[in-house]
Amino acid sequence: MTYCDLTTGPDGNRVAVSARLAELGERLGEGNPGVRAVRREAARLAAVVEEMEELAGTGEAPDRGLPVPRIDWVIRADIRRAADWLNENTCVDVVALDWMTVRSPEGWLLCLDGLRMLDELTERRLWFLVNGPSNRKRRAALRELVNGRVSPSPRASRQPAASRGSSDA
């Protein structure tokens, strides 16, 4: 959503992030709270756009035209059930995780612990589309945990699709 908003002008045409930010300031006024918030976060937002564009250009994440299941858990038994389903449905090699509401450091560590468990139970064969981590430190921890098999993460070192099922040292 962030990517689409920052790269699409009011007329629906594609625009550069700088042009979009200028347009927002002109249209809404520099004193607008939304414009001020976007200006404060401009560098981070531009980095998100850059990562998405790099990811789109790599073509390394699996794409078989299948829907991407969204996985979530509350307790460890949920993770085991999800892993069992994923192991029975080997055509699924990408899953989505929505971590937009994870704010606290404790909550973040719980998410990473659950992902570690899911990744182990599925023999480290999956790619993860994660919505939410908005700072570089969290994105880096996420990439490290799953050996780069996460999007958007174009800067992570990735293995070719043929070797994804091999051991991850």
Predicted TM-score (pTM) of the model is 0.56
Measuring CA to CA, which residue among 139, 131, 141 is closest to residue 101? 131
Sequence-distant (≥ 6) Cβ neighbours of residue 26 within 8 angstroms? none
Q: Dump pLDDT digits (tens) for 117-129.
A: 999 999 999 999 8
Cα 157 from Cα 168, distance rounded (Å): 12
Q: Dump pLDDT digits (tens) for 66-125.
A: 577 888 898 999 999 999 999 988 888 889 898 988 889 999 999 999 999 999 999 999
Cα 111 from Cα 142, distance rounded (Å): 10
Of the two residues 114 and 12, the one the predictor is more confident about is 114
